[in-house]
Amino acid sequence: MPIHKVRDNLCAPQVSGHDMRLVTWNCCRGTYLSKASLLGTLAPDIAVLQECARPTTETDQCLWFGDNPHQGIAVVANGLYRIRAFAPVAEVPPYSIPVEVIGPNNFLLIAVWAKVRNPYVKGVIRAVEIYRNLFTQYRTVLAGDLNSNAIWDSSNPVDHNHSVLVNMLSELGLVSSYHFFFREAHGHEKRFTQYFLWKEQKPYHIDYCFIPKQWAPDVQRVEIGSYAEWKNYSDHRPLLVEVADRPKDGTFAKPAAPP
């Protein structure tokens, strides 16, 4: 994942024609343009950026959410894709944001930056419980910084740990693209998305992109940025998931179950 600042504004339209690319990255603060432009060579169709400052403008290809203008969560669309926010639900812990994605593939995106501690995953579990009806109605992608991993299951309540969340999402028809692609179990990852205190000796896997199980066989590429290439920009590394550009049902809702 080489880094090149090839575009000043990630919201600018791209030329379509490649497979759908999803990216999530906790950029560890900074202005929107300075951090979003670093994703240029990854050419995401949809990107979720945690901890970035509010962009100057918001459009149907660039949305931002948060209560601190210097540190929120952005969702960005490129090319033929457009995005539209759902009405906020006050009971949902910050931040799990439902966004409608409209384009060659229509789906619901839950953009996540888990901020509620003790444990972090508790807030994400609560969001999934509240949004359960959305999961059952729409093809859904849940992507972001979950601050969670199965290695901490024994330290967390038995009903609020990472494995509980993974099982909930599986029952709702989602699978982690990374774990499906690399055939690794949760808690046994060999590639890492975060380096605690920016130290290479303290790696963790806490960023995820859960996709519909029907898409999993179409995943062509999953990459995580290396420690060296991104060490000057964030303690996290971008997670890229590329899904083959094959004909899919263009409707937003899930297809009806067979009789």
> Could you tell me the sign of the dihedral formed by the alpha carbons of 128, 140, 68, 39, in that order?
positive
What pLDDT score was predicted for residue 8? 34
Could you give the CA distance from residue 67 to residue 113 in angstroms, rounded to a whole number? 13
Could you give the strand order of the β-sheet that contains 239-243, starting from the edge strand earlier in sequence?
Answer: 62-65, 72-77, 46-52, 20-26, 239-243, 219-224
* DSSP letter (8 states) at residue 195: E
* Strand, helix or coil for residue 122: helix
What pLDDT score was predicted for residue 118? 84
What pLDDT score was predicted for residue 116? 84
pLDDT digits (tens), the chain, 259 positions: 433 232 333 433 344 456 999 999 999 999 999 999 999 999 999 999 999 999 999 999 999 999 999 999 999 999 999 999 998 898 999 999 999 999 999 999 999 999 988 899 999 999 999 999 999 999 999 999 999 999 999 999 999 999 999 999 999 999 999 999 999 999 999 999 999 999 999 999 999 999 999 999 999 999 999 999 999 999 999 999 999 976 555 555 565 443 3
Could you give the CA distance from residue 246 to residue 254 in angstroms, rounded to a whole number? 17
CATH topology of domain 20-243: Deoxyribonuclease I; Chain A (3.60.10)
Could you give the CA distance from residue 118 to residue 99 in angstroms, rounded to a whole number? 26
What pLDDT score was predicted for residue 258? 38
Phi, then psi, of 223 in degrees rounded to 5: -135, 145
What pLDDT score was predicted for residue 253? 59
Of 137, 175, 82, 135, whose CA–CA distance to 251 is shortest? 137
What pLDDT score was predicted for residue 117? 83
Q: What is the enclosing helix (H) or strand (E) of 229?
A: helix 227-230
CA 28 to chain centre: 15
